[in-house]
Amino acid sequence: MKGKVKGRFFRLWFLILFAIICAIAPVAALATQTVSVDTSLLNIRSGPGTTFAKVGQATAGQQFTVLEEKEGWLKIQLSDSSTGWLIKDYVKPALLSSNPESPKDPALGELVINGTQVNVRSGPGTTFSKITSFPQGTKVTAIDLKNDWYQISWSTGQGWIASWLVEPAPEKEATDIPAEQGIQGEVVEDLPPGQPEGTDVQSLSWNWTKTGSGIKITVQGTQPLGYSEKILAGEPKILLEFAGALKDGSNTETIDESGITKIEAKAEKDCSALVVYLSEEIPYQTGLSPDGCALTINTAYSGDMTYSGPTGKTVVIDPGHGISQSGDGYDPGAIGAGGLHESDVVLDIGQKVGDLLTREGFNVILTRPGRENLTLEGRPQIANEACADVFVSIHCNASLNATLNGTTTYFYAPVGSSLEEQRAVRQRLAAAVQSRLLEGLGRKDLGVREENYAVLRYTTVPSILVETAFISNSEEEVLLSDEQFRNQVAVSIVNGLKDFFSETNG
């Protein structure tokens, strides 16, 4: 009898153990599953459904470890140890290493810049200060990876760069020649800091011209430029260091206008520097030509913003998003791959616009901050009740196509509607601001367009909506995170408004 009881006891424990193994096995398999994003841009949410808040966005090819599956949604592990949810329909299984218990270390080593002009920062995020910037094709060495940012090193320093703006350097063909030797056994000299590999010697020239809002400086190279950019404390000045020799050697040119006192060119054997001396700290924006061979520095000087139009005009500035459409929650707007929130960017730009306009004698009303329960329809109502002269809504553009980039300004006054009588003035307002944005930012011109946006439809005063740049584009997200770029956006919008009022009342 005891033997039978003992046998039943072991059989019972065996069945319990087998049931536990069967229950754990699927979970264990799911815990080690890795998926890859299979669309251009995919929202990451706080819970398994579209009603949950967005906590980030993932780009094509990004891989995540799956922790749980629920109702067609996958709970994933994020790089900062937090979790989020992706819809299952837009991911695919990722290739796993042969030993899943020993995950492969992040791919460090030699990387190549794949953005047109990429900022290098002092820490792993867009909130850290900019150290320098490198053009497309520059090779750097990754020594660490943190929160989707690589810590990199180059011949003259170290910094951090967004992982989505670089790619692994192509593997070199096998060779018996040591890496540090040339064909004849000669030691291969290091390339100047930040200079892409090439057989031609870099030769540089520069010039400057006056613009409607400041000074434009152009540095032209015979091949893609490698350069670093610094703002020096004390006596305000911009220092630009280049790989390559100046064709005309060292020289100094006195400017004494638009906030610039002089420009000094310093030539050395393999590198050059351009020092722009400022009478005060002024906003400026750098940009590379499509081939990377020309760098432009556009400054914006408030002292040059001569305004002959009427003062005392009322302008309502509407930094988009920040408050949900129903007025009862937070709306971050679009979120860039690097985690930048549209609502934060446009609030900063809107406040800068307001400060500049106030100094020029305008009456400025900001729709936020300060209004916790502001609805979408309530934004234009502020302008209507104030009998404002113009209403300007400021946004960042976004698209599932991460390659889209550029600047757009919208108006709305369809023929046959109650707004038709404002059609010409609204279109003229949009054109004035768009023109100044193109001049100041140097981004792709996506034109003046007409669209039935609520903030334009419900305003009874002339109104426009500005899409400054694409936060979904990796290069423009970096620009939108940059203080100088935001300053330039603000100055450009103000200049456009002043052009409009001067023309309207001229």
CA distance 140 to 109: 8
* Closest C-alpha to 40, from 402, 333, 469: 402
Q: State pLDDT tens for residues 264-297.
A: 888 876 678 888 888 777 777 777 776 778 888 8
Q: State pLDDT tens for residues 364-420.
A: 999 988 776 788 889 999 999 999 999 999 999 999 888 899 999 999 999 999 999
Instruction: List the 227-232 sheet strands across, edge first.
Output: 227-232, 237-243, 271-278, 260-267, 251-257
Q: Spell out the domain ranges in the chain.
A: 16-93, 109-168, 203-303, 305-504
The CATH class of the 305-504 domain is alpha beta
Q: State pLDDT tens for residues 257-266.
A: 877 888 888 8
CA distance 207 to 219: 7
Q: State pLDDT tens for residues 6-64.
A: 555 556 555 666 555 554 444 433 445 788 777 656 778 888 877 777 777 776 677 88
CA distance 465 to 450: 10
CA distance 440 to 469: 13
Q: How many CB atoms lie within 10 A of CB 158?
A: 15
Q: How far is CA 343 from CA 120, 195, 264, 457, 467, in A?
A: 24, 36, 40, 21, 13
The reply to whether 109-168 shares the fold of 16-93 is yes
pLDDT of residue 167: 82
Q: Is the CATH number of domain 16-93 3.40.50.300? A: no
**Would you say 227 and 220 are in contact if contact means Cβ atoms under 8 Å apart?**
no
Q: State pLDDT tens for residues 230-269.
A: 666 667 788 888 777 787 888 888 888 877 888 888 887 6
CA 82 to chain centre: 23
Q: How many CB atoms lie within 10 A of CB 433?
A: 26
Beta bridge partners of 135: 117
The confidence band for 312, taking pLDDT boundaries of 50, 70 and 90, is confident
Buried/exposed code over 169-188 (b: 16+ C-beta within 10 A; e: otherwise): eeeeeeeeeeeeeeeeeeee
3-state secondary structure of 183: coil
**Would you say 34 and 66 are in contact if contact means Cβ atoms under 8 Å apart?**
yes
Q: Is the CATH number of domain 109-168 2.30.30.40? A: yes
CATH no. for 203-303: 2.60.40.3470
DSSP characters for 198-263? Answer: -SSPPEEEEEEEE-SSSEEEEEEESS---EEEEEETTTTEEEEEEESEETT-SEEEEEEETTEEEE
**Would you say 126 and 345 are in contact if contact means Cβ atoms under 8 Å apart?**
no
Catalogue the E-assigned strands of 115-214: 117-121, 130-135, 139-146, 149-154, 157-162, 166-168, 203-210
